[in-house]
């Protein structure tokens, strides 16, 4: 199952927060950010309301967050206005479609994807990765956290799909490990099986 960008925008516009809005970055990506040396600028694709992008900026990085949902970007910009950013970090947010990243005026040293790729169909995923290939310079790190089909939601991705998306001469050191996505569909949080892909632009 895939969701079109305007479906996401409607979810952000609703009174109830969408289930992935847990009020903090996904722990699996935050842990990766903390244990890695991130090259700037950092691009957060499908940044939603900007919680991860802001956390990375607070750690001193120059961050650009993009999302197709205008309501999410609007909330992300409000978060920036409310945030106190000390030190060298900075963050800005733009409405942009992940399937056309080659139009983006950013040449990222690091790309973070917290829950976007798994919502794209085959053609969308191919366009997304082609755009990443176009904008990432040699050595750029790409990290993707995606829902696993093992979560039993009737959608999600597999290690084979992720490995296949980043196969070929443009990508190196590609690895996929088991991880978790935290969701809050109601009061209580759920910890769902997920996959964490890391790769580098060759």
Ligand X SMILES: C[S@@+](CC[C@H](N)C(=O)[O-])C[C@H]1O[C@@H](n2cnc3c(N)ncnc32)[C@H](O)[C@@H]1O
For ligand X, the binding residues (CB under 6 A) are 5, 8, 20, 26, 46-48, 52, 67-69, 72, 97-99, 114-116, 119
Residue 45 contacts by C-beta under 8 Å, 6 or more apart in sequence? 66, 67, 98, 101, 111, 112, 113, 116, 128
Closest contact distance (angstroms) between CB of 8 and ligand X is 3
| C-beta of 57 vs 138, nearer to ligand X | 57
Nearer to ligand X, 62 or 184 (CB): 184
Q: Which two tokens stand for residue 55?
A: 């956390």
Q: Are 72 and 78 in contact (CB under 8 A)?
A: no
Considering the complex, state which of residue 5 and residue 156 has its C-beta at the smaller distance from ligand X.
Answer: 5
Taking the complex as a whole, the smallest distance from the CB of residue 1 to ligand X amounts, in Å, to 13
Compare residues 9 and 89 and give the one whose CB is closer to ligand X: 9
Smallest distance from ligand X to CB 87, Å: 23
* Cβ 66 to ligand X shortest distance, Å: 6
- Work out how close the CB of 172 gets to ligand X at its nearest, in angstroms, rounded to a whole number: 25
d(CA 86, CA 177): 34
Closer residue to ligand X, CB minimum distance, 173 or 179: 179
Rounded to a whole number of angstroms, the minimum distance from the CB of residue 187 to ligand X is 18
Q: Which is nearer to ligand X, 70 or 202 (CB)?
A: 70
């Amino acid at each position: 199952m895939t969701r079109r960008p305007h479906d996401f925008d409607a979810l952000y516009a609703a009174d109830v927060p969408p289930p992935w809005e847990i009020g903090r970055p996904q722990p699996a990506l935050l842990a990766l950010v903390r244990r890695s040396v991130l090259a700037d600028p950092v691009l957060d694709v499908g940044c939603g309301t900007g919680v991860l992008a802001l956390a990375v900026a607070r750690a001193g990085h120059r961050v650009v967050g993009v999302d197709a949902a205008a309501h999410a970007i609007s909330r992300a910009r409000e978060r920036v206005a409310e945030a106190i950013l000390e030190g060298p970090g900075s963050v800005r947010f733009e409405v942009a479609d992940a399937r056309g990243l080659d139009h983006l005026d950013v040449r990222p040293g690091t790309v973070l994807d917290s829950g976007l790729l798994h919502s794209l169909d085959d053609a969308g995923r191919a366009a997304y990765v082609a755009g990443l290939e176009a904008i990432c310079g040699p050595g750029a790190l790409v990290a993707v956290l995606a829902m696993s089909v093992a979560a039993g939601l009737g959608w999600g991705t597999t290690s084979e799909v992720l490995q296949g998306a980043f196969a070929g001469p443009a990508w190196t050191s590609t690895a996929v490990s088991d991880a978790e996505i935290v969701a809050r569909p109601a009061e209580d949080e759920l910890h769902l099986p997920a996959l964490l892909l890391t790769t580098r632009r060759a």
